[in-house]
């Protein structure tokens, strides 16, 4: 499929622009040539790291727009300045869990009436396929569906980007719970380790978001991020690391029954994480359905040279 450039500059507002993915989306939008705005919320004014990050965006050419989720009119004013709104608000239980707050954003976009596209905070498992999810992790999908339903009820043009595990949380640690670093001696393998999983570098996820937000092909569609070379089984990921490090890890095979055995004894954020891991590594929820070339990000945007996991894992050597 040929590379595509949709020409005219788009004015984009990024909400959650100081977060792990949000800051990458801001950078990617600037690199794509979009006129980029970042919502500056009052609470970020007392967080030194966020203030420094926001003003680093300003130096790169982004516009800072003040707005608060406790002031509806400020949100309406913010979205009236742009064509597209991208939300990158956190939806993971062990960080700030802000998915429902987006309903206020939907309300503001509807009232403003000028927004040509809204990309809500998705980027992971497709919530429309997760009706069977284990609680309390199911809450994430239920809330994302509530946001989707509100978007569609309001008639807001949209794109949903889903389909991959972030490499920072699932790749570098070889998919081990409770750490972001690769294990040194022993690695837990989920089931037989042969279920296909999709991994993506967050920088690449951000690049795909920046490409899709004004692409007429993705209007009112779900775009799956499923780069061919990053569809790997858990065992294949571990083997890539073993080859790079030159060390073989001892494998501890964990059955589905054992994996879920003491879930109820854990803290709520940990329970949510275990449930999500189960759906990904035991059920194969990221790869158990077909995706056409016209709805897969790496096929739509072949000019994005995505990071393969063997390259990604080199930073841990």
Q: Which residues of 23-34 are buried (b: 16+ CB within 10 A; e: fewer)?
A: bbbbbbbbebeb
Distance CA 132, CA 291 (A): 21
Residue 182 class from Cβ within 10 Å (0-12 exposed, 13-18 middle, 19+ buried)? buried
C-beta neighbour count of 42 within 10 angstroms: 13
Q: Of all helices (H) and strands (E), which one includes residue 252?
A: strand 250-254
Contact predicate 109/155, CB 8 Å: no
Q: Which of 6, 13, 18, 67 is nearest to 35 (CA)?
A: 13
Phi, psi torsion values for 188, nearest 5 degrees: -75, 130
Catalytic, out of 50, 104, 110, 144: 144
Q: Is 205 helix (H, G, I), strand (E, B) or coil?
A: helix
The beta-strand segments (E) located in 147-185 are 159-162, 165-166
Q: Is 144 designated active site?
A: yes
Angle between helices 138-153 and 102-112 (to 10 degrees): 10
Q: Is 87 helix (H, G, I), strand (E, B) or coil?
A: strand
Catalytic residue positions? 144
């Amino acid at each position: 499929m040929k590379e595509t450039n949709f020409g005219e500059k788009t004015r984009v507002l990024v909400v959650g622009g100081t977060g792990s993915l949000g800051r990458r989306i801001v950078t990617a939008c600037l690199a794509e040539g979009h006129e980029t705005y970042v919502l500056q919320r009052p609470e970020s004014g007392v967080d030194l790291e966020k203030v420094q990050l926001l003003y680093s965006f300003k130096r790169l050419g982004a516009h800072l727009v003040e707005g608060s989720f406790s002031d509806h009119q400020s949100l309406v004013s913010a979205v009236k300045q742009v064509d597209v709104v991208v939300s990158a608000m956190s939806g993971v239980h062990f960080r700030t869990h802000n998915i429902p707050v987006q309903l206020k954003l939907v309300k503001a976009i509807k009232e403003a009436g000028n927004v040509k596209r809204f990309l809500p905070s998705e980027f992971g498992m497709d919530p429309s396929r997760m009706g069977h999810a284990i609680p309390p992790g199911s809450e994430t999908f239920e809330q994302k569906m509530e946001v989707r339903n509100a978007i569609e009820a309001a008639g807001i043009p949209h794109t949903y980007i889903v389909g991959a595990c972030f490499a920072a949380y699932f790749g570098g640690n070889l998919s081990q719970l409770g750490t972001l670093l690769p294990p040194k001696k022993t690695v837990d393998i989920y089931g037989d380790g042969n279920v296909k999983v999709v991994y993506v570098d967050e920088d690449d996820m951000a690049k795909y978001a920046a490409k899709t937000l004004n692409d007429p092909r993705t209007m009112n569609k779900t775009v799956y991020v499923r780069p061919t070379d990053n569809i790997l089984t858990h065992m294949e990921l571990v083997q890539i690391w073993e080859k790079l490090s030159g060390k073989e890890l001892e494998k501890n095979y964990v059955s589905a029954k054992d994996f879920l055995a003491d879930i109820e004894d854990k803290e709520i954020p940990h329970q949510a994480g275990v449930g999500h891991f189960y759906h990904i590594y035991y059920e194969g929820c990221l790869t158990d359905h077909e995706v056409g070339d016209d709805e897969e990000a790496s096929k739509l945007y072949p000019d994005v040279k995505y990071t393969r996991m063997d390259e990604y894992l080199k930073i841990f050597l």
